[in-house]
Amino acid sequence: MTAMRIFGALFFSAAAGATLVLAGPPNAIQDHGRAMVRDAEEMVMHGGMGDGKAIIHHCGEVTKHAEAILQLLPRADEHGKKAVPHLQDAIKHCKRVAEMGDRVDPGASLNPGTKARAAAREAMKHLMAMRDGGA
């Protein structure tokens, strides 16, 4: 009977348009964070080499990982709360890079790219402070 109530509540939530957000374990969050920083580093490296398409690609990956982290973050974790504005900054700067496109001079997209990298690095400092027991 309890299972039916839980299923009914989940079904009603989904039907009402509510989003069920489950907090992920810190290891999954940190894995996304490491991948995000790696892509941010590669984005800036490719910017220095003048490869506009690679900048766009890696910035898209940074955005994908940052958005995944935002979905997985436990709402009650202090380190997670401190990482949120940095993740949002990384997404904002990467969207700016995407709007510029790959036809623009790679040096022009490098400025928001370096800002996205700085935001990703700062977010990662907070994400690495998360622990299994504290999340």
Structural domain includes residue 113? yes
Residue 77's domain spans which residues? Answer: 22-128
pLDDT at 90 over 80: yes
Cβ(110)–Cβ(70) below 8 Å:
no
Q: How many domains does the chain have?
A: 1
pLDDT value for 52? 85
Read off the pLDDT band of 18 (50, 70, 90). Answer: very low
- 78 located within any domain: yes
Band of residue 24 on the pLDDT scale cut at 50, 70, 90: low
- Smallest CA-to-CA distance from 79 within 126, 26, 122 is with 126
Domain presence at residue 31: yes
Taking residues 17-29, what's their average pLDDT? 61
- For position 23, what pLDDT does the model report? 54
Residue 111 lies in a domain: yes
